[in-house]
Chains A and B, each alone.
Chain A
Amino acid sequence: MPRLLQHAYWLGLWAFMMAVLLVAACFLSPLSGAQQLIELTVAGVLTLSTAWLVFHSLRIYPTRAGLMPYALLVAVLGGILLFTLDMYVANWLNQRLGAGPILRFKAFRFAAALLFTGWLAFQCAYAQRHKEITALLQQQQSAASLHREAALYKLRQQLQPHFLYNSLNSINALISLEPQAAQRMVVKLSDFLRHAVKQEGQEQITLADELAHIQNYLDIELVRFGHRLQVAVENNAPGTAILPPLLLQPLLENAIKYGLYGISETVTITIQIHQQDDLLLFQITNPFTPGQESGGGTGFGLQGLQQRLQLLFGRADLLHISKTENLFTATLKIPQA
């Protein structure tokens, strides 16, 4: 519909211009009625075709020249073309009718043709520029909203509201049962939050840092799940190895979720870390009961992790998941460049 309106707008302008010419010709021209009609028809058809040509040649333009110089060029060339064709065709038709060639108003006709194409080219260039700016603006807006979403996701990942609320509920219970344990838990939770908030803007942290954070997280989970959860960490990598923050936690969360939610007995989760050439390797293993692994969702956390790794390293082979009969193993590789 807007396209149709645009066409109507241009056609209307053109019709208006032709009407003006017609009126002007009636008053100014000493030519015969038949000659006038022929010339006006020829001029009408030619201006319309030139307009079409100008319009389409301005839809794409060489960026090196820039839009406005190019529009000027199109206007001049279009004007010359329009004038030449107009002269040629009108003369030819007049001769056939025996009315003789057009000799008058040549300068006026040339000026009119130039004015017309110039004005048209400017209009087209302006519309083109407007379109470009609108598109650019839209692009920026959608990029900004994408960015906001990503930031929000990261924040949620950092703060883990679900984990936070459950931990607070546990502290609530401990306050009267074991006040000292409640105090310890408050400190651990604060450390966890402080670390999570601090990550903002940091691209790489040391393994020692990340392990301290993870230990905090695990300590809190141990209080929450009591004797049901056991975690064994086996680290053979140097503490100075580096990795992006908050990558391990989704893996551990997953291991705890599927380990604990699938089994009622004590669950042991093992974390093995070692360095192999220029790769830092994490291996996180948890038991699970086949057929029940979907009790708490479908590994969405791991999908998010996979995407993050792709963004960070541009590789899709850094996270590997394997299942044996009743063991679930996630292997994470972090390139040490």
Chain B
Amino acid sequence: MKQPVLIIDDEPLARQLLRQYLQAYPALEIAGEAGDGFEAYKLIQQVQPALIFLDVQMPRLTGFEMLELLEQPPAVIFTTAFDQYALKAFESQALDYLLKPISPERLAVAVKKFLANSAPGTAQAQPEWPLPEQHAQRIAVKDRDTIRIIPAADILYIEASDDYIKIHTGSGAFLKKGTLSRTVAALDPNQFVRVHRSFLIPVGQLRQIEPYEKDSHLALLHCGARVSVSKSGLARLKEVLGW
């Protein structure tokens, strides 16, 4: 059976080159191409590919942002012109990565790796995608069938709930699969403080802090919400605010 493959890149010529190279592999079948993260997301839902070739920097939704939205991501081979240094970050998580200009020999190695991995009985664990070097200025979430981009400035607070995080904004709350600690790591630590095991707040949203039971406080936010503040959370908050 042929393995369905998607090529995702915003440069048409880069897609064509891969298409041309992949003709040499009868085990793979190109099931489609996408030019940005949104298109790619839709196409992946439709086609359920076994493997995608993915460029990182793309219009509207970057490669990483798109991957984070997928419940069961396919095997990923990154194709990028980034230098080795930047690549180190995602080397460990992706199946492989190809540096542009892509050489057929290097592609052969990557495809071989995929075919070996996709043999029956070698199910892949869900990889955790690396965080970008810069702090995220936005979060992409699934809102029913569409993808919504939430600018960091629109976030009122973020709440942990089981395997999900709940992002509260002025236009409603959105669920996203993931942990709060990962969200903390992705966002700017000078803007967002984890005040509690289950709460992450933007410092700009803080109106006041009032004592609550022993060793704990309540933070009153501008939006009217009250969230718990733990002892260590208060210490972190004080550090960021310079109290």
Taking beta carbons and an 8 Å cutoff, which residues of A are in contact with B? 161-162, 165-166, 168-174, 176-177, 223-226, 260-264, 289, 291-292, 294-298
Contact = CB atoms under 8 A, between A and B. Distances in A.
A261 B101 contact: no
Contacts of B39: 264
Nearest to A175: B17
Interface of B: 10-14, 16-17, 20, 35-36, 38-39, 57-62, 81-83, 99-102, 134, 137-138, 149, 151
Contact of B17 (A172, A261, A263): A172
A169 B57 contact: no
Nearest to B82: A162
A169 B100 CA distance: 6
B67 to A, nearest CB: 15
Nearest to B19: A173
A166 B81 contact: yes
B134 A291 contact: no
B100 A165 contact: yes
A169 B62 contact: no
Nearest to A226: B12
Nearest to A223: B13
B101 A172 contact: yes
Contacts, number: 87
Contacts of B81: 161-162, 165-166, 169
Contacts of A177: 13, 16, 20
Nearest to B148: A291
Given A165-B99, A260-B10, A296-B62, A291 B151 contact: yes
A176 B13 CA distance: 11
Given A264-B35, A264-B39, A166 B82 contact: no
Given A168-B100, A295-B59, A224 B35 contact: no
26 contacts: A162-B82, A165-B100, A168-B100, A169-B13, A169-B17, A169-B102, A170-B13, A170-B17, A173-B16, A177-B13, A223-B13, A224-B13, A261-B58, A262-B59, A263-B60, A264-B59, A291-B138, A291-B149, A292-B60, A292-B149, A294-B151, A295-B138, A296-B57, A296-B62, A297-B134, A298-B137
Nearest to A174: B13
Nearest to A162: B81
A262 B20 CA distance: 28
Contacts of B134: 297-298
Given A166-B11, A291-B149, A298-B134, A263 B59 contact: yes
B193 to A, nearest CB: 21
Nearest to B20: A176
Given A169-B14, A262-B60, A294 B137 contact: yes
**Closest A-B pairs by Cβ, 6 of them:** A173-B17, A294-B137, A165-B81, A169-B100, A169-B101, A173-B13
A176 B137 CA distance: 41
A234 B73 CA distance: 46
Q: Is the interface of A mostly helix, strand, loop or mixed?
A: helix
A185 to B, nearest CB: 10
A291 B171 CA distance: 15
Given A169-B101, A264-B39, 17 more contacts: A161-B81, A169-B11, A169-B102, A170-B14, A171-B101, A174-B13, A176-B20, A226-B11, A260-B10, A263-B59, A264-B35, A291-B149, A291-B151, A292-B149, A294-B138, A294-B151, A295-B60
A288 to B, nearest CB: 11
Contacts of B17: 169-170, 172-173
Contacts of A296: 57, 62
Contacts of B57: 261, 295-296
Nearest to A225: B11
A176 B58 CA distance: 25
A289 B61 CA distance: 12
A180 B10 CA distance: 23
A78 B180 CA distance: 72
Q: Which of B11, B20, B138, B149 has the most CB of A within 10 A?
A: B11
Nearest to B16: A173
Contacts of B36: 264
Contacts of B137: 294, 298
Contact of A168 (B10, B59, B60, B101): B101
Contact of B138 (A161, A260, A264, A292): A292
Contacts of B62: 295-296
B140 to A, nearest CB: 10
B59 to A, nearest CB: 5
A318 B20 CA distance: 47
Nearest to B56: A296
Q: Which of A169, A177, A223, A291 has the most CB of B within 10 A?
A: A169
